[in-house]
Amino acid sequence: MSKTIKWTTQLLVKEGSGSGLCGAHPDWGHHPSWIAGLEGLSAYNNWVSEIVMPIVFQWIEEHKTEVYEGVPEKLKDDVGVVIASAFEIVKKMPNYTNGLKKAEEFEAALEDKTLDLKSINPVWTEIAQKVREGTDRVFDEQKGVLKGTIR
């Protein structure tokens, strides 16, 4: 079952369905970075489908009348149409408009190097660094036989 299905204006949730690309391509059949990239995208898709979308549709349910107002009956189970309608509402809300202003401040602080990046997503940062280090390490271990072909 696809992970982003709406039916009777309800998001269908299937946790840990196992669908995805992890292990779908044999390790011996493709460049390891290609496999890691596809599996990483699949993991991201699963996170969005199984974690983020239920949060989104809980918010939509709490604002159902407003979100579905103006959505044609035949499109009420179209995920893209419903999210587009919800996004039009969200764009007018304080958290979104404040976020636009804060993004400008963030960019300015990033540019003038006054921003402490250590406080932003420290867990994800650590994971990304360890994945990158692990990738570099395993390729380095093989550079004797792979010579100058590592990219």
Q: In this structure, are 23 and 35 located in the same domain?
A: yes
Instruction: Check residue 12 and give its pLDDT.
Output: 78
Measured between alpha carbons, how far is 106 from 5 in angstroms, rounded to an integer? 36
Place of tokens 């189970």: 77
Q: Which ranges in 48-116 belong to alpha helices (H)?
A: 53-62, 64-68, 79-90, 94-111
Q: In this structure, are 100 and 151 located in the same domain?
A: no
Count the helix, strand and coil residues of the chain and give each as a percent rounded to the nearest 5: 65, 5, 30
Q: In this structure, are 77 and 143 located in the same domain?
A: no
Q: In this structure, are 105 and 132 located in the same domain?
A: no
State both tokens at 65: 């009348």
Binned at pLDDT 50, 70 and 90, residue 147 comes out as very high
pLDDT one-digit tens code per residue, 1-35: 556 676 777 777 776 655 566 777 778 888 999 99
Range of the domain at 143: 116-151
Q: What average pLDDT does the structure give for the chain?
A: 89
Which value, to the nearest 10 degrees, does the dihedral of the CA atoms of residues 113, 119, 122, 126 take? 40
Q: In this structure, are 86 and 104 located in the same domain?
A: yes
Mean pLDDT value of segment 60-87? 96
Q: How many domains does the chain have?
A: 2
Q: In this structure, are 131 and 91 located in the same domain?
A: no
